Amino acid sequence: MGKVIPINNVTKLNVSVDKVLDAGKDKLKDAILIGYTKDDMEYFACTMSEPQEILWLIERFKYLLLDNASLEDEE
């Protein structure tokens, strides 16, 4: 079987949590982790301490998602 090459773009398919976390480990300066636990409880973790900075980043990515923009185009 051929080599699998990950492409970094928006997909309509679900991706594993491990794959997403591993992809960002060496790239990110700051991160916000939002999701659901295996017990369907809400989960939030963040590397930043300032609530204003966290909210700004969430709103920025919310805008990009609503605008249907590719997240990769912002690099």
Q: Is residue 50 one of the residues assigned to a domain?
A: yes
For the chain (length 75 residues), average pLDDT per consecutive 10? 60 84 91 95 96 95 77 53
User: According to DSSP H, which parts of the chain are helical?
Assistant: 17-24, 51-66
pLDDT value of residue 55 = 96
8 Å CB contact between 37 and 43? yes
Residue range of the domain that includes 44: 29-70
pLDDT value of residue 75 = 53
Q: Is residue 6 one of the residues assigned to a domain?
A: no
Report field, pTM of the whole predicted structure over 0.85: no
Query: Structurally, how many domains does the chain consist of?
Result: 1
Q: Is residue 16 one of the residues assigned to a domain?
A: no
Q: Is residue 15 one of the residues assigned to a domain?
A: no
Q: Is residue 65 one of the residues assigned to a domain?
A: yes
Q: Which residues contact 23 (CB under 8 A, 6 or more apart)?
A: 6, 8
pLDDT value of residue 71 = 52
Q: Is residue 12 one of the residues assigned to a domain?
A: no
Length, in residues, of the chain: 75
pLDDT value of residue 63 = 87
Q: Is residue 42 one of the residues assigned to a domain?
A: yes
